[in-house]
Amino acid sequence: MLYPEIEPRESGWMDRPDGHQIYWEDVGNPDGIAVIFLHGGPGAGISPNHRQYFDPEKYRIILFDQRGAGRSRPFGSLENNTTQALIGDIEALRVDRGIEKWLVFGGSWGSTLALAYGQACPDRALGFVLRGIFLCRPSEIEWFMTGMGNFLPDAQEQFLAAVGLAKNPGAQALLDVYGDYFAGKHGADAASLAARAWSGYEARCCTLLPDESFVEGFEGDGVALALARLEHHYFVNLGFFRDNQLLEDLHKIRHLPAIIIQGRYDLVCPPVSAFDLARAWPEAEMVIVDDAGHASSEPGIARELVRATDLFAAKLAQ
């Protein structure tokens, strides 16, 4: 379903004034339609298969590791790490790569950031491909902390046991407990174990069918620490958004084309958010994948993401 594996034409680090260094890749046709890939998490980072959702003959694909994630430096850093700073990084990268406008592609937290970036810089977006919608509302954060476990109680038990809990104390209390672990109040080893538990719990909830290789990828040191600490950081700060910001400011981008792709059985980002977004953006196309959960790697999701980028390639080439 994906396009063949491809290596970057160029890659490097972009220095930011506040000390962060942002790793980026430039892939595909240098004269193609520009697209920016926004990964999930926050903190998950990019991987080679993310390059494969786009026809490399038609697209110039820009990918980057968001602050604190992947190969960006310093790894796992929370300092100066806000949605507004990420939007600044995206704009700086656009200017650095000499791109006037681009298609904005993002899934999960990447859909959140895509909407936030588009609303901040509507004149720079050609359109949107959004997957596994997360609007960073308090109800969605509470669901992540307390709701997913209703479907995977065995996974939730491991999530709680890692921080010494036998039952879920509620979203805010659980965030507080994990915050103490991530701050090192129980020691470095306990913080690392807590990060793996957080990331592994999310991974187990991502796919419709169990996928241990997917879980192992999330629990590795190259992902777990940044993913867990950054997700916690953004959760406790409500994504650095005002209440319901992404829906209230949707009028800034409603004139732009969009395709929303959502797994019917997505436990991490339940479909209600995609439906809320589609109701507020009736001009957008919404696709419900009936045999999928949250992960972009699931066959039905991958198929629809490639279909969406192919549709945009044909549309934007006209």
**Omega of the bond leading into 42 within 30 degrees of 0 (cis):** yes
Q: Give the residue with greater pLDDT, 221 vs 72.
A: 72
β-partners of residue 288 are 262
Query: Is residue 295 very low, low, confident or very high in pLDDT (cuts 50, 70, 90)?
Result: very high
Selected catalytic residue, list 50, 232, 233, 294: 294
297 is catalytic: no
- Summarised one tens digit per residue, pLDDT across range 200-230 is 999 999 999 999 999 999 998 889 999 999 9
Q: Are residues 115 and 129 in contact, defined by beta-carbon separation less than 8 angstroms? A: no
Query: Is residue 125 very low, low, confident or very high in pLDDT (cuts 50, 70, 90)?
Result: very high
CA dihedral sign, ordered 184, 215, 168, 145? positive
Closest CA to 86 of 136, 26, 144: 136
- Summarised one tens digit per residue, pLDDT across range 133-157 is 999 999 999 999 999 999 999 999 9
Closest CA to 136 of 162, 120, 115: 115
Query: Is residue 318 very low, low, confident or very high in pLDDT (cuts 50, 70, 90)?
Result: confident
The tokens of 39 are what? 């990964």
E runs forming strands in 144-300: 258-263, 285-289
Contacts with 5 (C-beta within 8 Å, 6 or more apart), sequence order: 48, 49, 51, 52
- Summarised one tens digit per residue, pLDDT across range 238-273 is 999 999 999 999 999 999 999 999 999 999 999 999
Selected catalytic residue, list 108, 111, 199, 273: 108
232 is catalytic: no
Q: Are residues 13 and 23 in contact, defined by beta-carbon separation less than 8 angstroms? A: yes
Selected catalytic residue, list 26, 72, 266, 296: 266
Domains of the chain are 10-136+241-316 (3.40.50.1820), 139-239 (no CATH)
Predicted pLDDT of residue 71: 97
186 is catalytic: no
Q: Are residues 229 and 78 in contact, defined by beta-carbon separation less than 8 angstroms? A: yes
